[in-house]
Chain A
Amino acid sequence: MAKERILKGIAVSKGICQGVVFVYETKEVKILQTPIPVRYLATEVERFAKALKKTEKELSSIKERINEEIGVDFAQFLDAQILMLKDREIIETVSERIKTEKTNAEYIYHEVLDEYARKLGASRDQYLRERVADIWDVGTRVLRNLVGMTHSSVVDVPQGSVLVAHDISPSDAALINPINVLGIAIEVGGRTSHTAITARALEIPAVVGVENLLTKIKNGEKVILDGNRGILIKSPTPGRIQFYRGEIKKEIEYQKMLSPFCELPAKTRDGRQIDISANIEFFVEYAHAKRSGAMGIGLFRTEFLYLTRRGNPSEEEQFRVYDELAKKMKPDPVIIRTYDLGGDKIFSDYHEANPFLGWRAIRVSLDNFDFFKIQLRAILRASVNRNIRVMYPMISTYEEIREANAYFKEVTEELKKEKVDFDDHIQVGIMVETPSAAIMSTEFAAHVDFFSIGSNDLTQYVLAVDRGNERVSHLFDHFHPAVLRLIKQVIDAGHKSHIWVGLCGELAADPLAIPLLVGLGIDELSMSPVAIPKAKMVLRALTVPECEKIAERALNFRCASEVQKFLNRMIAKRFPGIGGIK
């Protein structure tokens, strides 16, 4: 029997699974030039036509999947790819050249695409330059089919698979079907990579950054993926399998114990209601959010709409997604956060040394009003459902709020002129995730309808720690008194101006943090759907006066570990019912 081997990576999505490796090849296709004897030329042209047919089938099924995933007819961009595939000019040129040059289809097709790609790549127009990626997306599919490469698509992964790859592109990530894919392991990436975000959204375990993964693992191997510890176990020993069976069983029992809390109101023992809502990435997650007992969507991330589409979706495409989500959640609120994209995700030729301090989120949106306007119009049109709220990410200055509000107003006037209906009383809020926004929250509160504290980024910026950097990530701790004091400041500032204050970072789902946040007066906690039942259970064991006492003391420690020690002790003592939950 093969020897057990443990491959280490970064744990980015919790859970444990046992499955069979499915290697998703993203390697380049090798194109060789081969002469074709005259009597086989017709067969060669036929072979080319067959590869096109097969590819068309693939694209259609991908389109179907994306539409299902996002909920509405969002995958129109694939129509352009299908048209590229069926382009007469290309098919005629390729078929003709196979015959005249007596050369194999792969080689000629590659040459012809290369000419088009070069023409588009040389265009002054950004959008056209980006279509080169579409050409090669389609082209690579056809070439793979021509050379008979298998596993060309994440769509046809068999049931019970652990998906293994060098990397997974955003458009492929959107296609991962959690029914078939039990877990994901990739060679590259960190906590914030698309793969990590997708895995957390789909609630399947994932480990990223596993060095030389593809040289160590083969298709069809049996493995255990442990997303809690960040390891992939190759050829596990019977003892190991036994151990993990126990772990999986415990996890299932724990979920069973929590499930009754989904239905219960999110209230403390003495009756204070805290709105518990869900952070979601994809439209389809609304169902899970509702099932878990979410009282709304506290954060709908819109980046995936952009990344899946590899470009700005049209107003109509965005509107359909927002409108559908609003309808499904009615009458509960849906907070749509405008694009939180880095400049490098939008402009392929743009790179920066320090993206976290760079051109991203609202900064990019304000600098590209045409692009921002499409999103605002789509959000406003969907607000006819009367439950949509809008939120700007990464606000750091007063001018940004003023500018965003001015643009927002411009768009509303435009809609009024066009006699398009929208919610005149739509709430407009900001994420408080930069130290400056937290410190200036008293001034900012006068210009917005709510604050949502993004505790992950706030912690990162306040402590000057990149949590993705292994050497310093131990310094990242959202219980640091510096972070907690700022959170208090923001909540107090909001309440003084009579606006509500929520929190949508990982802190919101931390059982240790909930009593503290309730004590500080938080109005809303938004978290991933899976965390909701536990948060409700914790909340229902608390009383406000006790939480207030805890909060008062927690803020006066010198460091995060003292705060944590104190919180652990308090919870064990005052709320024995929720002790030991973590």
Chain B
Amino acid sequence: MNPFPLVLATLRRNRFTAILFVTVIALAVALGIAISAQERALRLGSARAADRFDLIVAAPGSQNDVLFSVVYLDPTAVELLSPEMTAAVLNGGRADFAAPIGFGDNFNGDPVVGTSAEFVDHLSRGLAEGRLFTRLDEAVVGALSPNRVGDRLAIRHGHADGLSGNDADAAADAHEAGEDHVEAEEEPGHSHVDVAVVGRMKPTGTPWDRAVVVPVEYNWFAHGMGTGHLPGETRIGAPYEAAPGVPAIVIKPENLAAAYGLRNRYRTTESTAFFPAEVLVEIYAVMGNVARIMSGLTLAAQVLVVAAILAGILALLDLQRQRFAVLRALGAPGSFVFAVVWLYVGTLIAGGALIGLPLGWGVAAIVSRLVARETGVAMTAQIGIAELALVGALLCVGFLLALVPALLTYRKPVVEALR
């Protein structure tokens, strides 16, 4: 006998209860899927964002702080490398380039970062529009920056530790005149040095997509630290003959052996060197632990939901015991009644799980978009093997647990049930 017509009829007869059960299971499953998919999106997004920052050298201290400042442009107060160490690293060889990084300023809330044109080209894999900066008062903007090529930007200085109050023309004129130091005016925390936007980067999936990137000489000059070059020198870029201390230097080693060699060379009492991924892996370990705890809690919640629903189903079936008993009295075999109950319960659990999977993915996609907007780190939530395994496990457990009401109904004596 085909049990499906009766299963469908039972579902239809109790459709509101069925919808309620399926909804509750779907929500519990969606929660688990969303946590799992979001954790992976965060991990992959942050790892890929750091891909182009091959090796970072900074002053000894928290590598996490340096990483977050340089890659994710979340500036914290990091120590500067000494001018001697800066010069040694910038001119250390075995690298395609060594790019100083300076940060701390902002334009309309977006970060202003100083570095070299080579690093901009490396990070962006070529520009989307315009050209790289060739003068101290030129800038390249990130792919998502609201500023356009041709705009002139009056940059505010976030720190009151250097020069302030000079305008672009004065700065550029002084630079062109070969002056390497401009007296700061007493206007704490603010100065206005215009820069012209000459290019736009391709999307990098990093917070640099919203940044205004200027030559590092601009940072040094605007903060009264010279230009990093000999007096009278007006060019920008390496070599930096008189570089002051910088918060960090990004190195692109010439090959893999050089990468490890340089990492080892600059792990000294005066500097630290690290691959971003090695710091991220430690963060992921903590993040993974948190995700595992949360996944455990959601799994427990799912089991409780299924258990509660089974209790509800048992009560529902108890109300319908006479109908099943009538079926048996009319000659339906026990196995038919068993199959009807098992399929009924299994359908509710499978329906909830299968709706929960895309629902969870949708939640993770929305959260990913919000986090990406907040942090600038591109991330995409995807359903992977872990999420499919989670749903698969719930389906297996659900179909096993569905045997309980099926067995109870099967074993109930017909005469007793008919009373």
A and B are interacting partners: no
Interface set of A (CB-CB < 8 Å, partner B): none
Interface set of B (CB-CB < 8 Å, partner A): none
